[in-house]
Amino acid sequence: MTEPGGGGSRGRDAWWREGAVTATAFALCLLGGVIQVDDTLSAPSAAAYVVAVASCAVLPVRHRAPLAALAATTAVGVLVPLLGLLLTPLMVAPALITAYSHSLVARTERRAASAVLLMSAALAASVPLGGDFSWKDASRMAVMAVSPLVAGALGHSVRNRRAYLAAVEERARRAEQSRESEARRRVDEERVRIARELHDLVAHQITLANAQAMVAVHLFDTRPEQTRRSIEELVETTAGALDDLRATVGLLRRSGDAATPTEPAPGLSQLPTLLQSFGRAGLRVSVREEGTARSLAPGVDLTAYRIVQEALTNVTKHAGTGDARVVLAWDRHHVTITVADDGEGSRTAPSTSTRPGAPTVPHRPPGYGLIGMRERATAAGGHLSAGRRPEGGFLVSARLPLPPVKNRTPGTGDGLAGDGLAGDGPADNGLAGDGEVRDTP
């Protein structure tokens, strides 16, 4: 039976190849038998046919037992002078073929070299067995000593060439696998980055819109003018959300990103605008800076902005309070961002907050906001912790690295905005180990 996919064709090709090699070796043996000991030419004798048949019959097994085939053909070559024939490379053509094959498949180079050297010595030593030794016999000894070495060297060269090509193919295969693995890794990272950006861009404004809508519903009957103002702010917020979503989706679908101008990524310099958007949703945010403000790397600046944005979004959705505090603590090598509130949390908050006109805060399952903040902080070389405070409320604290001193430019001095966390830096705020975690879906 033949193997599927062309196995029978390959088997037939191998048989044809073996037949051609054996027939060529047989013809060379007979051609060598034409040359007589007295340097005359005549038809091959019966002994020449015997030598040709005996040596060529061994060739088909040289792939399965190369050393045995080499020994058998060498023994036949040693008998050539004893049969009255002239020992020439043509007469031992099958032996040279087995020397080539053994050098090609030997387990080690030392084995191949030892076998070929023994063949060379045996054939060279058998030249004087035919009769009187002359200078012609000396030249034939040299030829018979060199011929197996040339065949073995050729086999060794082909073996090295095949090994080199196999190594090149293996390296190419591994490189292709590495490229595919790297491509998959980059696709996964890009998918996570896109999901994080969409969450940060859209969830923030959708949360504010939800809060503004609940305020409008709560005040619809009692304060029409304030309700109208809340609805107008809701329209602005949803319009901004649509613009951000359209810009993000358009950027993902665009092919010429490099040639298309884009707006700069947000950073802490846009923090006042961010706080105003939360103020329109009814959240009062106080900001305090400790130490001297420094310039941040673009990626770290974006990370700091997104962490503040996400933390305040969580306060709006889950805290059940109208106040939050942001502290920016600057030292020589790091900036620590702390966002805290005193709310009771979505699971324990009453249906109506203590602040006038506050919306109800329904229970929502945890989302991906905290995951995204931690991923951003880790990617920027920092770390983030979040959880309930022992004294009540919720705390998000992120520590991000600053660029080296030579790359920094001094910013503004210590600035205070509103009522900060008096003496309540990130090192002074403990986190309950099993604290409830609030998050934006």
Task: Please give the Cα distance from 425 to 337 (Å, whole number).
Answer: 9
Residue 24, pLDDT score: 93
Q: How many CB atoms lie within 10 A of CB 193?
A: 14
Which helix (H) or strand (E) segment holds residue 232: the answer is helix 224-253
What are the DSSP calls for 365-398, one per residue? ---SHHHHHHHHHHHTT-EEEEEE-TTSSEEEEE
Length of the chain counted residue by residue: 441
Strand order in the sheet with 383-388: 383-388, 394-401, 334-341, 323-330, 284-290, 416-417
Residue 203, pLDDT score: 66
Contact in structure between 227 and 216 (CB atoms under 8 Å)? yes
Residue 191, pLDDT score: 73
Which helix (H) or strand (E) segment holds residue 341: the answer is strand 334-341
Task: Please give the Cα distance from 306 to 37 (Å, whole number).
Answer: 98
Mean pLDDT of successive 10-residue segments in the chain (441 residues)?
A: 50 83 91 81 88 91 90 92 88 92 88 91 85 72 91 92 92 88 81 71 69 73 74 72 67 52 72 85 88 85 89 82 90 92 58 39 56 84 89 90 64 40 39 44 49
Q: How many CB atoms lie within 10 A of CB 145?
A: 18
Residue 338, pLDDT score: 94
| Span 59-78, pLDDT tens digits | 998 888 999 999 999 999 99
How far is CA 16 from each of CA 9, 20, 149, rounded to the nearest angstrom? Answer: 11, 6, 28
| Span 179-194, pLDDT tens digits | 888 888 887 777 777 7
Contact in structure between 245 and 201 (CB atoms under 8 Å)? yes
Residue 431, pLDDT score: 41
pTM of the predicted model over 0.75? no
Start-to-end C-alpha separation, the chain: 63
Task: Please give the Cα distance from 16 to 63 (Å, whole number).
Answer: 15
Amino acid at 276: Q
Contact in structure between 307 and 376 (CB atoms under 8 Å)? yes
Which helix (H) or strand (E) segment holds residue 401: the answer is strand 394-401
| Burial bucket for residue 316 (CB in 10 Å: 0-12, 13-18, 19+) | buried
Residue 367, pLDDT score: 58
Amino acid at 234: L
